[in-house]
Chain A
Amino acid sequence: MLILECPYCGVTGEETEFHGGGEAHIKRFGPGSSDDDFHDYLFTRENPFGVHFERWRHVSGCGKWFHAARCTKTLEVFGTYSAQTTEPPSDLRAAISDKRPGWTWREFS
């Protein structure tokens, strides 16, 4: 039962108020893409024991999707941020680096 803060409405709520939506920052591949790219887009996912970026929806609240940076090992929540971005914000990445020097996640670090 995590506690998360919705970056849109500012509410800090119980996990039951939210709904997890899997890995964040996935780039869509559509018609014209290679079989490999499309396969990876549909099925290949990170499964880290540590820093992770996820999609969440404030489903029993404002209804907005957002992103959360979280540690799957300690359950620490580094921060939540807008879903309308293709990469984690730089200040959040710096804050994670303070706590987990040398972290990497996909192409981000």
Chain B
Amino acid sequence: MSTRLASGGRLIDRSKQVQFTFNGKQMRGHAGDTLASALLANDQMMVGRSFKYHRPRGIVASGAEEPNALINMGEGARFEPNQRATTTELFNGLVAQSQNHWPSLEFDIGAVNTYFSRFLPAGFYYKMFMYPRAFWKHVYEPFIRQSAGLGRAPKQRDQDTYEHFYHFADLVVIGGGVAGLQAALAAATAGQSVLVIEQTADWGGRAPVDGVADDSTIDGMDADAWVAQAVAKLDAMDNVTMRTRTMGAGVYDHGYLLAYERLRDHAPEAKGPRHRLWRIRTKQIVTATGAIERPLSFAGNDLPGVMLAAALRDYVVNYGVSTGDRTVVVTNNDDAYRTAIVLKQAGLEVPVIIDARPEGGGALMAKARDMGIRVDTGRAIAKVKGGKRVTGVQICAQAGEGSVLEEIPCDAVAMSGGWSPVVHLWSHCGGKLIWDDAQAHFRPDPSRPPTGASGEGFVIAAGSANGALALDAALADATAAGVAAARAAGGTPDDAPPPKADALGEAALAPVWMMPQGANIKLRMKSWLDFQNDVKVSDVQLAAHEGFESVEHAKRYTTLGMATDQGKLSNINGLAILSDALGQPIPVTGTTTFRPPYTPISMGAIAGEARGEIFQPLRRTPMHDWHDANGADWEPVGHWRRPYAFVRNGETVNEAVMREVRNTREKLGLLDASTLGKLIVKGPDAGRFLDMMYTNMMSTLKPGKCRYGLMCSENGFLSDDGVVARIDDDTWLCHTTTGGADRIHAHMEEWLQTEWWDWKVYVANVTEQLAQVAVVGPNARKLLEKLGGMDVSREALGFMEWADGTLGGFDARVYRISFSGELSYEVAVPASQGRAFWDKLMEAGKEFGVMPYGTEALHIMRAEKGFIMIGDETDGTVIPQDLGLDWALSKKKEDYLGKRAQQRSHMTDPNRWKLVGLETVDGSVLPDGAYALGNGVNENGQKVMIGRVTSTYHSPTLNRGIAMGLVLHGPDRMGEVLDFPGTDGKTYKAKIVSAVFYDPEGEKQNV
């Protein structure tokens, strides 16, 4: 059983007890524990079930690379799935639950999958669930969805807060082990600003743990003492910033770096944000990110109790926790001997060290033997025995096929397949790797670093992250990296020699990708590569056999290296197996792509402060508060909020809309039109410029007049519309759609700056300078005349004319334009007077039956008149000719944006769908977006479609459904009835009619 030892544990405080629960069971640990070490101390060896076969799984690692110990953390508004127990610091009241089991961790129904595992090979889902086709939607997918997925999604809104933090530093050192600290010390002498970040709560990395086994020293001090003085030195320097619990998450172009700080995951009751995302710009990055130990691939290597050798050692040295009383060590390198030595020093049994190398190891092996530990060389584990945890191992020859030579009872296995540098951050932005044959790993190729704006490299790897695994090599490498980084950032660091390290030397490792070397299929089917995704040696071999030869294809076919750990343990072993199956060297196979973040970071940290009210800035018109106080049902339009309708007590939204339309048509309506874009275009060449921008002729418009204009993109498609008013000889005011103001402003600027830069034109976006109110309805003129101050009579201000003046004391510009078909004035006043003007109109309009109306009433009234709406009738593939707007295309102009494109063969095709009105036979409302069916089927066997609905409403004016749509040969088919199947199973019948449903002669506005 795993338990707390009577002494030891450099990171825990035995005087402080901490209470927590796991799967509802009360447990105790110490301050300084991780959840993983505390679980082991409570003999909780099994922590979850595997993804596919629901096999019992235990803790494998002691850090970020942990694939198995994924935990549902917390409750309610602090619930979070997939947290790694190994990186979760213990605190009082912690609530953890294991994942992926039903009904319980101990007894799990899905575990039957393991008995069917030979029927669930790589690509099983792809192969199995193809036929019959109809089964996918109703049988296969629901079943797979129910059984798939790790953890549960949180149900409540996250109660914690998060923030972004912007930081600039000349240098950033990622990793606070001895290499990172030494690199920082070497670099900081140049006096540049240095940020040093460490993902765990403690400085020093692995060196203090490793040092225990071989009594190593740095500058004559033990590693802990050296780390303490190094941290003290750095802390004392003004130019150095130090942060623990801060992970380098991603390296991006030109020295952009994301770091993820966990401020109070370990102290949830503390004040302040929970996580902080550092957005860093730096000149040089040193990645001292260490290395990760690889598992060995032998049968049963996934049983609870089989652990990475270094992790097992960490639990003893850092937390005073033993994983088992009798631990078999299996290795292909010298480092694992440190685990055996540490266990022996702690008074635990190591029945045997199984070393796959025929010659065994060096000084560390000698030391182990001196301590009386049996060492078998050239041996391997054929199979681990046990169910929910290890009970023993069968030993065989590494060179053979797995014939059992001996069986040794034990309750833990420490495995080590060598070390792989953490090259993720080096690789994120394009740093290349080379294969190191001697150490059997990929390491950064210093001649091909990620390059920055100057074309020079901006990342330097240091220490074991650079393949310098031995203590002295790592410190020398880190010193050189720190100096090089400071120089590359423009500094002049001191040239001090690296600290002197004294440690036992290591003999060479022997690559072991399969154990035993000739393992038979039965063993290979129980040899796990990827614990998290249940990928075995046999799966990768099958993938290669079936032609998934690219490492990226094999990954996706087998799921090797996917999910939360992204193959930190499995990738190298997996691609070694793949290379072997393909008969090619490992570097030819290469690695999959390393993508940020290094380990998963919280969604909260990514969002930062951008949530709720401040997710994005809201644009409010000067009348916004009035609308809000008067029942506005808000609709987002771009960044604006516009009232969809003004809902009165006891009324539905739809009833409000109907009332607003009727009142506007019969009496008087007010629309807040302030959101419409307003662009001033001014200059000697403004007319010429607008003739290019609009399809219509704008240069001939007379001052005092308005014209409705269309804008197309250069590829001919309709992009915006609006009324243009000529203000004086060289000034025009262009109205755009609400969502279009910024876009059209940018569009004009683009052409002015990049094509016609010698034209003398200036464009200003004055949208927010003005409040604009549409005064609409038969009583519109009466209201304005009551306000008084200017002549708005039919004679003085004709349709499509504008005039400046005063209305009721307000400075006003009045446009007589109509988007509803009614007598209508749009009145612009300075934005600062907008609210007062609105109040005045409401007050003075009482006797004329004034009511405000919202965007839906606006839409219905424009549809009744057959006016198009950008975004409804247009979708980026519609040209003005489709909408019967040929009258707005100038034939006199040689050129305008879109003219040439509209001459292309597809644009002049007579079979383009054209705009028509649609009237349901029974008066109902056509479903939005419904398609009209023609006769027969197309080449894909689908029913032929001959049109679609673009706008559809219930018209209260006509008391029936009205719609517009684009229909093949539509204008030539007036009176024909088409079938529109809805998603509700009904088929709607609609007659093709004119799109102008209401007042076709325009008599209502001609008064």
Q: When chains A and B are docked, how far (Å) is the Cα of A64 from the Cα of B254?
A: 23
A35-B904, A75-B253 given; A65·B895 CB < 8 A: no
Q: When chains A and B are docked, how far (Å) is the Cα of A13 from the Cα of B255?
A: 13
Contacts of B904 in A (CB 8 A): 35, 38
Q: When chains A and B are docked, how far (Å) is the Cα of A29 from the Cα of B899?
A: 11
Q: When chains A and B are docked, how far (Å) is the Cα of A102 from the Cα of B451?
A: 21
Q: When chains A and B are docked, how far (Å) is the Cα of A55 from the Cα of B755?
A: 12
A42 within 8 A of B: yes
Which chain B residues in 722-768 approach chain A with CB under 8 Å?
A: 746, 749-750, 753-755, 757
Which residue of A15, A29, A63, A77 contacts B749 across the interface (Cβ within 8 Å)?
Answer: A63
A1-B252, A63-B749 given; A75·B900 CB < 8 A: no
Q: When chains A and B are docked, how far (Å) is the Cα of A14 from the Cα of B454?
A: 15
Which residue of B455, B754, B755, B757 contacts A99 across the interface (Cβ within 8 Å)?
Answer: B455
Count B-side interface residues using an 8 Å CB cutoff.
Answer: 28
A3-B453, A15-B253, A63-B749 given; A84·B757 CB < 8 A: yes
Q: When chains A and B are docked, how far (Å) is the Cα of A98 from the Cα of B53?
A: 59
Q: Are B753 and A84 in contact (CB under 8 A)?
A: yes
Counting residue pairs across A and B whose Cβ atoms lie within 8 Å, the total is: 68
Q: Are A83 and B753 in contact (CB under 8 A)?
A: yes
Interface string of A22-40 (1 = CB under 8 A from B): 0000001111110100100
Count A-side interface residues using an 8 Å CB cutoff.
Answer: 29
Closest A residue, CB atoms, query B166: A14
A47 within 8 A of B: no
- A22 to chain B: closest CB distance in Å? 11
B256 within 8 A of A: yes
A1-B253, A31-B895 given; A42·B901 CB < 8 A: yes
A1-B256, A3-B254, A99-B455 given; A21·B750 CB < 8 A: yes
Q: Are B254 and A2 in contact (CB under 8 A)?
A: yes
- A32 to chain B: closest CB distance in Å? 8
Closest A residue, CB atoms, query B452: A75
A contact face: mostly helix, strand, loop, or mixed:
loop
Which residue of B254, B281, B749, B755 contacts A75 across the interface (Cβ within 8 Å)?
Answer: B254
B602 within 8 A of A: no
Contacts of A14 in B (CB 8 A): 256, 281
B715 within 8 A of A: yes
Contacts of A33 in B (CB 8 A): 900
Q: Are A38 and B900 in contact (CB under 8 A)?
A: yes
- A49 to chain B: closest CB distance in Å? 12
Interface string of B893-919 (1 = CB under 8 A from A): 011000111011000000000000000
Q: When chains A and B are docked, how far (Å) is the Cα of A59 from the Cα of B256?
A: 20
Q: Are B254 and A1 in contact (CB under 8 A)?
A: yes
Q: Are B903 and A2 in contact (CB under 8 A)?
A: no
A74 within 8 A of B: yes
A15-B253, A28-B755, A75-B254 given; A42·B714 CB < 8 A: yes
Which chain B residues in 426-440 approach chain A with CB under 8 Å?
A: 430
- B490 to chain A: closest CB distance in Å? 15
Q: Are B895 and A30 in contact (CB under 8 A)?
A: yes
Which chain A residues in 78-109 approach chain B with CB under 8 Å?
A: 83-84, 99
Closest A residue, CB atoms, query B454: A76
Which residue of A30, A57, A74 contacts B899 across the interface (Cβ within 8 Å)?
Answer: A30
Q: When chains A and B are docked, how far (Å) is the Cα of A77 from the Cα of B714?
A: 30
- A72 to chain B: closest CB distance in Å? 11
Q: Which of B254, B255, B750 has the most CB of A within 10 A?
A: B254
Contacts of B903 in A (CB 8 A): 31
Closest B residue, CB atoms, query A70: B453
Q: When chains A and B are docked, how far (Å) is the Cα of A59 from the Cα of B895?
A: 28
Which residue of B453, B455, B753, B900 contacts A29 across the interface (Cβ within 8 Å)?
Answer: B900
Q: Which of B454, B750, B900, B901 has the most CB of A within 10 A?
A: B900
Q: Are B753 and A64 in contact (CB under 8 A)?
A: yes
Q: Are B750 and A57 in contact (CB under 8 A)?
A: yes
Q: When chains A and B are docked, how far (Å) is the Cα of A59 from the Cα of B904?
A: 33
Contacts of A3 in B (CB 8 A): 254-255, 281, 453
Which chain B residues in 452-507 approach chain A with CB under 8 Å?
A: 452-455
Contacts of B255 in A (CB 8 A): 3
Q: When chains A and B are docked, how far (Å) is the Cα of A71 from the Cα of B750?
A: 24
A1-B252, A35-B904 given; A83·B757 CB < 8 A: yes
Closest A residue, CB atoms, query B429: A75
Q: Which of A21, A31, A71, A99 has the most CB of B within 10 A?
A: A31
Q: Are A76 and B453 in contact (CB under 8 A)?
A: yes
Interfacial residues, chain B to chain A (CB-CB below 8 A): 252-256, 281, 430, 451-455, 714-715, 746, 749-750, 753-755, 757, 894-895, 899-901, 903-904
A-B contact pairs, 23 of them (CB 8 A): A1-B254, A1-B256, A2-B253, A2-B254, A2-B453, A3-B453, A14-B281, A21-B750, A28-B755, A30-B900, A31-B894, A31-B895, A33-B900, A42-B714, A57-B746, A59-B746, A65-B749, A65-B750, A71-B455, A74-B455, A75-B452, A77-B453, A83-B753
- Going nearest first, the 4 A-B pairs with the smallest beta carbon separation are A76-B455, A1-B256, A74-B451, A84-B757
